Amino acid sequence: MSDAAALIPAQGTDYTAALNVPPVGNLRRIGGEMFSWTDRDPRRGPEVPRGAVLHHLIGQFAAAERAALVAGPIADELVTALVDAGVAVTWLLRSLADADEAARAHPNVTVLAGAAVKLDPADRYDLVVALDGVGRLNSAEGEQLTAAELLDRLAEAVRPGGVLLLMHDNHLGLHHTVRLAPGGHLTNDSAWYPLDDHDAHYPASCEQLVGRLTGSDLVIDVAYAAFPEPATPTVLIGPGVLGNVASPLRPRLGTALSSAFAAGFRGRPVLSDPRVLANRAVRAGAEGTVAPGWLVVARAPGAVPGSDVQRHDLLVGDSRGTFAYEVSASDGGPVRTTVLGRLEDPIERAGLRRIAEPSAPGAQTGYVLEERLLHLCATADLRDLRVELTQYESWLRGQAVDGKLTGPVALAGLADVFVTPDGSALLPTRWEPIEPVDYETALVRALWEFAVQLITSARPHPWPVTSSAVDLTATLLGMAGRGMTDESVRAAVDLRIRLETADFELTLDEQRERRLQLLAVTPGTAGVDIPAFRELTEALWRQRYEASHLLAMMEWTEQIIESRDSALSKLDREIQFHRSGWAGRMLLVARETYRFAKKAVRRRR
């Protein structure tokens, strides 16, 4: 796409409106600003960075009488957090319309409209925030810097003792690997800065990024792997866990990443379910290699490296708001869960209440129940599968009072149960019911969700001819010594709908459609959360496989019926022969002789 074509605004968009209003005093045009352009429309380009984990990390370095440079587009609430902490903020935006809007929304912020190449080299800052990376720091209205030169320019802006907070997009990341966007390079404004896999100046790994920043005289304090996307990270994995298969947090890592990808890619068509790839990467200790982004905290010489930096093992937060918590483990000590950013206000939706104090089992050894059951299903180990399901049913029943469950255990799935040598415990969850939930409903929902996962993800299990998720749920409940009714299944699905409504704020129509979709899960159903092309192809193959078996069964049935009819006719003739007199027998013999002769003539023809 040419520069001229890239600058043509979308139909119905008026970016010149901001130029017709009186200028504001906190806006400075430094050169290279782009006029008919915006970086704040997610329909035309990448989203701006936001999220609770970014809010927390920025807050570590926000203090009064400090100067900060925010380079590139970013969510307004993150800028507001810096301003509220007393930081003198300078915000660099290449779009003039975006800069004008930002200057009016944040009168205490100095907004620079222009390209990064126009920054004054003499200006230095205590904190440089580049959470959008370097992809949107160049401008079409001037000199184009390479990614390496932009990194050097950001490093130069950090004064001695200052900190650079940088998010770097990984071209090998899962979000690029599974992306399914045909024609995206022609229909999206982001095509103006396309991914170039042959750019020798773009750091292609975390090691190369660290080496580049180190070559710019910065000291790396910590580097995190960010999931599920660089713009909205909800899980940050610290160096103490990355690639360390012996870490006691490894069993919890797969569950955290699955939840992050399920929420981040919900309803988005992809090539393959990223949860499957992420799980394989975690087992191989390669999650850092396929991480969508790397978040680096670097410091310029002049202070003790890492003196003010709090390193996290596993940091989890919301994609919106400020709620974040850390899961950590010391050498030989228990696993701890610490809330770092609290909810601004209590949240209640669809009869559920948001949990503000998540907890995690303190044991260092154990396994996630869902992963254990998936393995047992794949190996058809019915004995151990029955043992695990029975133990889970007994544990869940022990949590109930008068047949009712309260607290987060009422909404916990099998992926939220961590089995330790001392018994089962819950991993951090997001919601709890306001009113108690029937024990039977909670049990059916947990096993029904597991059955849906087995079917829609085409995972191997001992009952491949099961007709639906309801039938498979009945089988699993039977192994645990329990039964179910149609009412209990509908109650379990309704509980799942309430949980999704609380998480994604579904409308009434969306809830109705979702309920019908979940109740209709059969062996030919594709994924119900993330529409993945590979899983859809697998579902189509299963449908053809089932159809071919039905056709073969129909053909076999017809052959059996024809064979039985022939045998019955022969027996009938024999009975008539023995029951007839001599004249009747002679007539039957003549008739059979004529029949055989007729068949012989037909064969000769």
Least reliable range by pLDDT among 38-47, 386-395, 492-501, 514-523: 38-47
Residues with Cβ < 8 Å from 273, sequence gap 6 or more? 178, 457, 527, 530, 532, 534, 535
* Residue-level pLDDT at 194: 66
What does 385-408 look like in DSSP terms, one character per residue? HHHHHHHHHHHHHHH-BTTEE-SG
Which pLDDT tens digit goes with each residue over 435-475? 999 999 999 999 999 999 998 888 888 987 667 899 999 99
Which residues have C-beta within 8 Å of that of residue 150, sequence separation ≥ 6? 116, 134, 137, 138
Choose the weakest-confidence range: 108-122, 402-416, 583-597. Answer: 583-597
Instruction: Kindly report the three-state secondary structure assignment for every residue of 481-510.
Output: CCCCCHHHHHHHHHHHHHHHHHHHCCCHHH
Mean pLDDT, residues 189-196: 68
| Cβ-contact 91, 114 below 8 angstroms | no
Cβ–Cβ contacts within 10 Å for residue 160, how many?
Answer: 12
* Single pTM value for the model: 0.86
Q: CA 381 to CA 373: how far, in whole Å?
A: 10
Amino acid at 255: T
What is the pLDDT, as a whole number, of residue 542?
A: 78
Q: What dihedral angle (degrees, nearest 10) is formed by the CA atoms of 569, 573, 579, 580?
A: 140
Q: Identify the residue with better confidence: 6 or 301.
A: 301
Q: Which helix (H) or strand (E) holds 112?
A: strand 110-114
What mean pLDDT, rounded, does the chain reach? 88
CA angle in degrees (0–180, nearest 5) for 459-499-74: 95
Rounded to an integer, what distance in angstroms lies between the CA atom of residue 373 and that of residue 241?
A: 25
CATH of domain 3-243+291-302: 3.40.50.150
How many beta carbons lie within 10 A of that of residue 497, not counting itself? 18
pLDDT digits (tens, 9 = 90+) for 378-395: 999 999 999 999 999 999
Whether the Cβ atoms of residue 233 and residue 295 lie closer than 8 Å to each other: yes
Nearest residue to 499 (alpha-carbon basis) of 437, 433, 449, 450: 433
- The per-residue pLDDT for 12 is 42
- pLDDT for 367 equals 92
* Cα-based distances in Å from 374 to 97, 347, 413, 450, 562: 52, 34, 14, 9, 44
Please report the pLDDT score of residue 362 as a whole number.
81
Please give the residue that has the higher pLDDT: either 362 or 297. 297
- pLDDT tens-digit map of 531-576: 888 888 888 887 788 788 888 889 999 999 988 888 888 787 777 7
Taking a C-beta distance cutoff of 8 angstroms, is the pair 147, 201 a contact? Answer: yes
Q: Cβ contacts of residue 278 below 8 Å, gap of 6+?
A: 174, 227, 254, 257, 258, 261, 287, 290
pLDDT beyond 60 at 20 = no
Task: Report the alpha-carbon distance of residue 581 to residue 591 in Å, rounded.
Answer: 15
What distance in Å separates the CA atoms of residue 325 and residue 234, rounded to the nearest whole number? 10
Gap between the Cα atoms of 448 and 528, Å rounded: 13
| Complete edge-to-edge strand list for the sheet that includes strand 417-420 | 367-368, 417-420, 423-426
Share of the chain above pLDDT 90, in %: 61
Q: What is the pLDDT of residue 182?
A: 76
Task: With beta carbons less than 8 A apart as the criterion, state whether 103 and 26 touch.
Answer: yes
In the chain, the N- to C-terminal Cα span, in Å, equals 73
Identity (one letter) of the amino acid at 46?
Answer: P
Helix (H) / strand (E) containing 259: helix 250-264
Note the residue count of the chain. Answer: 605
The pLDDT tens digits for 304-350 are 444 467 889 999 999 988 999 999 987 767 888 899 998 888 899 99
pLDDT of residue 197: 72
The torsion angle over the Cα atoms of residues 374, 377, 381 and 385, rounded to 10 degrees, is: 70
Residues 453 and 441 sit within 8 Å (Cβ to Cβ): no
| Distant-in-sequence, close-in-space partners of 587: CB < 8 Å, separation ≥ 6 | 580
Check pLDDT > 70 for residue 86: yes
Residue 373 predicted with pLDDT over 90: yes
